[in-house]
């Protein structure tokens, strides 16, 4: 999927604003991870593009690749995602020295 120019341009500012912390599960992301790794920081849309959300900075937030894939295009975050993320991602983040 090709990302808009504004999405790409806002990425550094959003990651910095959020302190590289996933806004879905509240665990740190790993900016040194490979882009396909579960702990890699990506941008999530509060309101999904599929539901009319845009790429403005106010609609973007930091998320783990894994959390963002679980959230998908849902309007609300499944309340179990943070629990599942803690089980799946904590060992990886500990190995990276982030926890």
**pTM of the entire structure?**
0.82
pLDDT score of 90 more than 60: yes
Q: Residue 74: which pLDDT band, with cuts at 50, 70 and 90? A: low
Phi, psi of 86 (to 5 degrees): -60, -40
pLDDT, tens only, 1-17: 555 677 789 999 999 99
Q: Where are the domains of the chain?
A: 5-95
Give pLDDT, residue 62: 98
Supply angle C-alpha 85, 26, 94, rounded to 5.
60
In CATH, the number for domain 5-95 is 1.10.30
pLDDT, tens only, 21-60: 999 999 999 999 999 999 999 999 988 777 787 889 999 9
């Amino acid at each position: 999927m090709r990302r808009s120019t504004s999405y790409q341009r806002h990425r550094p500012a959003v990651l910095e604003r959020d302190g590289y912390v996933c806004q879905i599960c509240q665990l740190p992301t790993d900016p040194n991870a490979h882009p396909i790794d579960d702990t890699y920081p990506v941008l999530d849309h509060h309101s999904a593009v599929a539901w009319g959300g845009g790429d403005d900075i106010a609609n973007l937030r930091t998320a783990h690749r894994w959390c963002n894939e679980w959230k998908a295009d849902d309007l609300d975050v499944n309340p179990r995602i943070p629990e599942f993320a803690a089980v799946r991602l904590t060992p990886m983040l500990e190995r990276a020295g982030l926890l």
